[in-house]
Structure 1
Amino acid sequence: MFSKLSVVVASALITLAAAIPTTTPPVTPPTSNQCCSSVQSSSSSSVAAVAALLGLDLSGLDVPVGLGCSPITVIGNNCGGTSVTCDAPEQAWGSLIAINCIPITL
């Protein structure tokens, strides 16, 4: 019973991901200081999964991508994750993803 349920759920997620139109985001120089829970390669499976949910096609891009990002607005902000400068995330992406993230070195 459980395996049938997992197959149905997986099929529904795959169908949903396939139904969402994808766009390739522009990669521009980083301009926005962000605190991200992690930074991974755009080719990693976790980044691909989040991008697919947002309708983004990151295939062919080779840039660092921040996951779980929020803007750093105050100097000295205690970032519990990784402090990076990224392309300003699109409002539609929420705080799920930021493109072309470069570590902030002090």
Structure 2
Amino acid sequence: MFSKLSIVTASVLLTLAAAIPNTTPPVTPPTSNQCCNSVVSSSSSAASAVAALLGLDLTGLNVPVGLSCSPITVVGNNCGGTSVTCDSPNTEWGNLIAINCLPITL
């Protein structure tokens, strides 16, 4: 039962990823403070998988990428993840990914 469900889920995600045209996101100076569950290389398999779901092509980019990020809006906010400053258009990428993430140093 669960194996059939995982196969169906995987095929649906692959179909959606194939239907969305891949675009290379612009790398701009980071301007948005984010709390990310993890920060990985743009060439990692995790970053590539999330980017594919969003129709982003990270090929050739060599920048840190934040995964599962949310904006830090309150001073003193306890992030619980990794606090970074990124380029993150939340309305387009739904807090799933952020590009060019640099650590916030206090």
Shorter-chain TM-score range: 0.7 to 0.9
Aligned equivalents of 1:36, 1:66: Cα separation in 2: 6
Q: Give how far 1:74 is off.
A: 1.2
User: Match of 1:93?
Assistant: 93
Unaligned runs of 5+ in 2: none
> Which stretch shifts more, 67-76 or 6-15?
6-15
> What's the CA shift for 1:73?
1.0
Q: Using a 3 Å threshold, how does the CA distance of structure 1 residues 28 and 18 change in structure 2: closer, same or farther?
A: same
Aligned twin of 2:29: 29
The alignment-based identity, stated in percent, is 80
TM-score w.r.t. length of structure 2: 0.87
With over 3 angstroms needed to count, the CA separation of the structure-2 counterparts of 1:72 and 1:11, relative to structure 1, is closer
Counterpart contact for 2:88–2:97, Cα < 8 Å: no
Q: Which portions of structure 1, spanning 4 or more consecutive aligned residues, are displaced by more than 3 angstroms?
A: 5-13
Structure 1 gaps, min length 5: none
Q: Which is higher, the Rg of structure 1 or of structure 2?
A: 1
SS of the residue corresponding to residue 27 of structure 2 reads coil
In the alignment, does 2:49 pair up with 1:57?
Answer: no
- How many residue pairs match? The answer is 105
RMSD: 1.8
